[in-house]
């Protein structure tokens, strides 16, 4: 996966690809060099990072996704937890949503993924950037992370996201392993989630 942070403050390369043209050129180069997915994000979620509203994230991300969709043949992923940004990015040519919160920050994101028949990467976190260190307290970290990922997967399925569209990875230590699902777009579409929401 080639990662494009269209941000001024990401911990690894903040500001380097904040310019649209620089971000697009970097994505094209990553694809040419063998990246299987290009992941575009517009909000840093490092500890202590400031939040970005939907309008600003949209301004940063969507032009890059639109341009890359015309220039690369590999799937484009949008790194966002916001339903509005994901909806616009999927309409602009992205086919994968990469949600660090596992559908906990904005559960309505599950409906957006299902509507577009997109793939979704469900990740795990506790708290927000401002307090994630304080929230990262576990009795059995592997078992608890696996349980919370399963909650996210169940909620996604209740929204109509097909199992083949769920991309999830977890270490199989002291718990039943989760196998990586293929990154392919789903055909099944349902408009509303009906199951219990994963708890933040």
pLDDT tens sequence across 153-183: 888 988 988 888 886 544 333 333 334 444 4
d(CA 93, CA 184): 14
Task: Indicate the pTM of the whole model.
Answer: 0.75
User: Helix (H, G, I), strand (E, B), or coil: what is residue 3?
Assistant: strand
pLDDT-based confidence at residue 136 (cuts at 50, 70, 90): low
The boundaries of the domain holding residue 102 are 2-167
Instruction: Decide if 175 is inside a domain.
Output: no
Residue 196 within a domain: no
Question: Above pLDDT 90, what percent of the chain?
Answer: 38
Q: What's the pLDDT tens digit per position in 15-45?
A: 667 688 999 999 999 999 999 999 999 887 7
Is residue 136 included in any domain, yes or no?
Answer: yes
Q: Is residue 73 part of a domain?
A: yes
The answer to whether residue 145 sits within a structural domain is yes
Our count of domains for the chain comes to 1
Beta carbons of 116 and 139 less than 8 angstroms apart: no
Q: Are 67 and 38 in contact (CB under 8 A)?
A: no
HEC assignment per residue over 53-76: CHHHHHHHHHHHHHHHHHHCCCCE
Of residues 138 and 63, more confidence is placed in 63
């Amino acid at each position: 996966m080639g990662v494009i942070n269209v941000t001024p403050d990401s911990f690894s390369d903040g500001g380097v690809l904040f310019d649209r043209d620089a971000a697009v050129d970097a994505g094209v180069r990553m694809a040419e060099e063998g990246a299987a997915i290009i992941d575009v994000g517009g909000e840093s979620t490092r500890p202590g990072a400031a939040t970005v509203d939907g309008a600003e994230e949209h301004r940063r991300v969507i032009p890059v996704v639109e341009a890359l969709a015309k220039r690369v043949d590999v799937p484009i992923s949008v790194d966002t937890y916001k339903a509005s940004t994901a909806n616009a990015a999927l309409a602009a040519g992205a086919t994968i949503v990469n949600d660090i919160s596992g559908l906990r920050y904005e559960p309505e994101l599950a409906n957006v993924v299902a509507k577009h028949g997109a793939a979704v990467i469900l990740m795990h976190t506790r708290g927000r950037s401002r307090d994630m260190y304080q929230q990262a307290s576990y009795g059995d970290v592997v078992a608890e992370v696996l349980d919370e990922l399963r909650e996210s997967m169940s909620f996604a399925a209740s929204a109509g996201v097909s199992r083949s569209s769920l991309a999830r990875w977890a270490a199989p230590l002291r718990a039943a392993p989760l196998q990586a699902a293929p990154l392919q777009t789903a055909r099944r579409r349902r408009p509303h989630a009906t199951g219990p929401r994963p708890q933040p």
